[in-house]
Amino acid sequence: MMVSTKGRYAMTVMVDIAKNSNGKYVSLADIARRENLSNKYLESIISILIKGGMLKSLRGKNGGYKLTREPKDYNISEILRLTEGTLASVNCIMQEGVTCDKAATCSTLPLWTGLDMVIESYLGSITLKDIIDGNRKKMLGDYCNKCSAL
């Protein structure tokens, strides 16, 4: 699995809004300035997040974008699946199931299926709130014994 710029920026947008909204709408210009990102590119990402029901928008002077739920109610898997389309580690395994004609005889399919289950379990267990709170212990868990500097 390789997370694209779109997925990384979607995470950045969601974290920025969650950190800075305080119940109010956050402007695109403020997000772009704080995160040093292009307004134009952020517009396309925000559009995906709105269509996916993760953000709501308000036009006008005090307008902008706001989360539709509390940060604790968003898991990272759902945000990345929305923007990336899939979290599959290999092309033959997609969200709808195995799409390979050789699936019945493929000796490595269980490996890729297991990897996908680990990725989904890990990303599904981390929430937007965990990121905002800097919950490094939950994000790193037992996966990284040499990450004490993080």
CATH code for the domain of 113: 1.10.10.10
- The secondary structure of residue 42, as a DSSP letter, is H
**Which residues of the chain carry a pLDDT beneath 50?**
none
Quote the longest CA-to-CA distance of the chain: 60
Domain range holding 35? Answer: 1-150
Express each pLDDT in 69-108 by its tens digit. 999 999 999 999 999 988 888 877 765 666 677 878 889 8
What is the predicted pLDDT for the residue at 149? Answer: 53
What is the predicted pLDDT for the residue at 43? Answer: 94
What is the predicted pLDDT for the residue at 100? Answer: 74
**Could you tell me if 28 and 42 are in contact, meaning their C-beta atoms sit under 8 angstroms apart?**
yes
**Could you tell me if 132 and 17 are in contact, meaning their C-beta atoms sit under 8 angstroms apart?**
no
The count of structural domains within the chain is 1
Q: Percentage of the chain surpassing pLDDT 70?
A: 90
At residue 42, φ and ψ (nearest 5 deg) are: -65, -35
Task: Give this prediction's pTM.
Answer: 0.86
Question: Could you tell me which of 137, 131, 113, 114 has the C-alpha nearest to residue 77?
Answer: 131
